[in-house]
Amino acid sequence: MTVIGLTGTSGSGKGAVSNIMAKNGAYIIDCDKIAHENMEIGGIAYNDIVTAFGKTILNDDGSISRQSLGSIVFTDINKLSLLNRITHKYICEGVMVAIEKHRDKKCVVIDAPLLFESRLNQICDYIWVVNANTDVRLKRVMERDGITKEQALLRFRNQKDFNTLAEKSDFIIENNGSLETLENIVKHKMINQGLTQNFYSFEF
């Protein structure tokens, strides 16, 4: 089994790369999905987050409003660090369980925006980093999340920049073109590294 750590700058198209790898036989561990499940009512991180940030982040039904929480942490680096400290330990636990469960797979991908901050890079055989030009990333994030240019740029500033990620990567994917171009790049790399399988994977 080969473990690939997949990360990238916000709006780079990491999710698209993840989907392509899944279609070519990789098993995807989606750290964002794990984090969201952990934040749900009854989730293992729910009480810790509400205690740390207060009940103002809750919706009327008691669930955590990711929009309200995001407006707090993406404007205050210290609060973002606090949220990461709370969530990373639970995410790492979920990742380890998934890896043990799927050791029969040829390729397991840890799809993690904060791969290095959570130290999940330490259990990866290779690190793949996805990047795109700033204007392309801005357009994608604004459309995807329904936020302003200023909000998107603030989010970018609170994340590791591409150069920092690139220094620690084994493979860089530039995603400024079409989905077809991206698919060809990813498929070619997977074939060269012997990572493809003749079945489709399922999300964790």
The distance from CA 61 to its chain's CA centroid, rounded to whole angstroms, is: 27
The distance from CA 171 to its chain's CA centroid, rounded to whole angstroms, is: 17
Distance in angstroms (rounded) separating the CA atoms of residues 81 and 72: 11
Residue 158 in this model has a pLDDT that exceeds 90: no
Parallel, antiparallel, or unpaired for β 2-8 and 27-30?
unpaired
Distance in angstroms (rounded) separating the CA atoms of residues 152 and 44: 29
In which band, very low, low, confident or very high, does the pLDDT at 200 lie, cut at 50, 70 and 90? very low
Q: For residue 203, what are its two tokens? A: 């999300």
Contacts of 68 (CB under 8 A, 6+ apart): 56, 57, 58
**What pLDDT is recorded for position 203?**
42
Q: For residue 180, what are its two tokens? A: 């077809």
Q: How many helices (H) and strands (E) does the chain have?
A: 9, 5
What are phi and psi for residue 126, nearest 5 degrees?
-140, 150
Task: Give the chain's domains with CATH numbers.
Answer: 2-192 (3.40.50.300)
Provide the angle, in degrees to the nearest 10, between the axes of the packed helices 66-73 and 46-53: 50
pLDDT tens-digit readout, 175-198: 999 999 999 999 999 999 888 865
Mean pLDDT, the chain, rounded, equals 91
Q: For residue 28, what are its two tokens? A: 């995807």
**Do 114 and 81 meet the contact criterion of CB atoms below 8 Å apart?**
no
- Give the global pTM: 0.86
